Amino acid sequence: MIKKTLKTPFNTKYNTSPFRIIQSEDFLPTFKEAIKMAKKEINDIINNPENPSFENTIEALDFSGEQLDRISSIFFNLNSAETTEEIQKIAQEVSPLLSEFSNDITLNEDLFKRVKAVHDSKSELDLTPEQKTLLDKKYKSFSRNGANLSEDKKTKLREIDKNLSKLKLKFGENVLAETNKFEMLITDESDLSGLPDGAKEAAKQLAESKKKEGWLFTLDYPSYIPFVTYADNRALRKKLTLAAGSKAFKNNELDNQENVLQITKLRHDRANLLGYKTHAHFVLEERMAESPENVQKFLNELLEKAKPTAKREFENLEQFAKDLDGIDQLQKWDGAYYSEKLKQKLFSLDDELLKPYFKLENVINGAFTIANKLFDLQFEEIHDIDKYHDDVLTYKVTDSKGNFISIFYADFFPRSGKRNGAWMTVYKPQYIKNAENSRPHISIVCNFTKPTKTKPSLLTFNEVTTLFHEFGHALHGMLANTTYPSLSGTSVYWDFVELPSQVMENWCFEKEALELFATHYETGEMIPMDLVEKIKESATFHEGMQTLRQLSFGLLDMSWHGQNPADIKDVKAFETEMFKNTSLYPETKETCMSTAFAHIFQGGYSSGYYSYKWAEVLDADAFEYFKEAGIFNKTVADKFKNNVLSQGGTENPMTLYKRFRGQEPKPEALLKRAGLVK
């Protein structure tokens, strides 16, 4: 029987997730029960004696399975942010069930007949643009997922999907286990030379928490990044860099090489089965970019612009390291270290100099203030709803008239049950049903430096932009105002989803915005304007190398998914060949990017990693518009809110963008901002 604790709507304030009383063992029976209920809703649609209509078929389908969706979002978000061995085990059981249920829908002939009947008569229906989009999306969800296949091919598709769901989970579990497994304990204080006091104190505290003497460093970003950036001990930088680069690439029980080969092969087989040349052709049919050829052209054109700059920057860095320390050959473990030293020399700018001005609480309040000035949002911290961990902060979001907009969860610090990186996610989507606008529950998850005994959490400038990036995604979710859940918030084309997040990063570089929150955590002094100028000046520092790095990941993704992977037997050899045109550092035999490339092998970015760069073109062009009018200009902000943030996936993204901007985006703004053209 379905557990009371997981029965929706929840008997909680704002219908929030009752984390406190959820037991792991509740999940499996609840999933089974919720799947049964969702199947009944599907059968009711199929057995409806009335002729298929938009309302009784398409709309009914979009609102079906609400309970299952809600439980899935709670469970899989916990599996990313607060997992346990028990949850991972349940995930391995649940994923095939969900994959099978999804196939039960898309491969159901009777249901497809009804959907097709509505789709075939769409010219006679008086539909809104949003309803037209939903109808097309529902029809394609069937046709693109096997509805037109013969029975034997449908069986094969089910098998592929079941295997893929398990393999992707296993891939992620291996990466997390490898991250948690590695520890570097330092007992000689001289080995900490160059490290900032905050990093030393955090390492000392971590060692103490594990009952160890000395200073403990891990592969969690707040521990890893300061070490490879500041530690003078080159051998230890190498040790840490190789450990990070060899995650799930050690030919042991946590190795992901076979998983990578199997995932790419199954994706290719699936695409072929559905009549597509490759997985990339399948994916990109539903993207702004439209085809692998367009993506390759886009990436290679940027590569052509960025490569000469990147090579020049790398040669300068090599010369600098040689002059400074007699380093003959710059290696991967030297990059961050000498880049930071060169940046300090050129701009007299050091992350350690900036960090006192970026206390986490102040940066959060800064993001809130900017959201208020732009989009009329107010954030009030609340303590009367459940959270899944004590570190999580919870907020009620309202507009200037006091209307309830959203619940917002923020989870900022690393811990063993949490995967690395930063992401935004949804616990409950927004939609309008029975004339009621049901508001969303949105969460952002990051891995920032924890407060220590003597210092609050002080962010590097890179962490500040990360927070604003994820907050941009969150705004896309919070401000959603669509009728249908499957078109709400971030349910947009994947190469459009990064626009709201990347555009928000721009405010971090503007004097007018920094003045709102960048104050010294001890003295309260405003960040000096010469530092603000240096932040702006240094914004394009090593932009060529950064661009080359991003392009290399996009090209690697397209290489895995834009061709038949059947002949690839050696993951490392394949990857090395792919990186030949973009790599600056000497190859290291111990490391492999693909085996820990969770974005494309576990997350949703397969054939989509290029979208970060694609969205940069959009965001640079969009922010240019803000700058022309003033970065807090209400007219431009309202246009962005009403035409982009609130619209979700209701229309083609280019239509929405042009409605906001008045024209298609031009890449010039990005190239100019990046300093790649004069």
Last residue of one domain, picked from the residues 97, 123, 148: 148
Closest of 387, 301, 263, 382 to residue 613, by C-alpha: 301
Same domain, 23 and 123: yes
Expressed as residue numbers, the domain containing 229 is 182-245
The average pLDDT across 413-422 equals 92
Same domain, 95 and 231: no
1 pLDDT band, cuts 50/70/90, is very low
389 lies in some domain: no
The answer on pLDDT for 157 being more than 50 is yes
More confident residue, 9 or 135: 135
Name the burial class of residue 291, with classes exposed (0-12), middle (13-18) and buried (19+) by CB atoms within 10 angstroms of its CB.
Answer: middle
Which tokens belong to 236?
A: 């230890």
539 lies in some domain: no
CB 80 within 8 A of CB 422: no
The answer on pLDDT for 320 being more than 50 is yes
> Amino acid identity of 525?
E
Same domain, 39 and 134: yes
232 lies in some domain: yes
Same domain, 195 and 128: no
The answer on pLDDT for 518 being more than 90 is yes
The CATH number covering residue 85 comes to: 1.20.1050.40
Cis before residue 9, ω within 30 degrees of 0? Answer: yes
Same domain, 130 and 191: no
678 pLDDT band, cuts 50/70/90, is low
Known catalytic residue: 380?
Answer: no
Same domain, 132 and 206: no
The string of pLDDT tens digits covering residues 530-553 is 998 898 889 899 999 999 999 999
Last residue of one domain, picked from the residues 202, 223, 245: 245
Same domain, 22 and 74: yes
The average pLDDT across 392-399 equals 98
The string of pLDDT tens digits covering residues 110-137 is 999 999 999 999 999 999 999 999 999 9
The string of pLDDT tens digits covering residues 161-200 is 999 999 999 999 999 999 999 999 999 999 999 999 999 9
CA–CA dist 386, 357 (Å, integer): 32
Same domain, 139 and 209: no
The string of pLDDT tens digits covering residues 444-455 is 999 998 999 999
CA–CA dist 601, 599 (Å, integer): 6
Q: How many CB atoms lie within 10 A of CB 337?
A: 23
Q: What is the total count of domains within the chain?
A: 2
Same domain, 33 and 90: yes
220 lies in some domain: yes
pLDDT given at position 672: 85
Same domain, 96 and 213: no
Helix ranges, 479-570 (H): 498-505, 511-514, 529-538, 543-561
Same domain, 222 and 93: no
The answer on pLDDT for 6 being more than 80 is no
Q: Which of 82, 352, 470, 616 is catalytic?
A: 470
37 lies in some domain: yes
The string of pLDDT tens digits covering residues 247-285 is 999 999 999 999 999 999 999 999 999 999 999 999 999
pLDDT given at position 200: 96
pLDDT given at position 3: 56
pLDDT given at position 4: 59
pLDDT given at position 536: 87
478 lies in some domain: no
The answer on pLDDT for 82 being more than 50 is yes
CB 3 within 8 A of CB 370: no
> Could you give the 3-state DSSP secondary structure of residue 57?
helix
The average pLDDT across 86-109 equals 94
Same domain, 114 and 23: yes
236 lies in some domain: yes
Distance of CA 299 to the CA centre of its chain: 20
The string of pLDDT tens digits covering residues 279-293 is 999 999 999 999 999
CA end-to-end span of the chain? 66
410 lies in some domain: no
The average pLDDT across 36-49 equals 97
Which tokens belong to 91?
A: 């995930």
The string of pLDDT tens digits covering residues 573-611 is 999 999 999 999 999 999 999 999 999 999 889 999 999
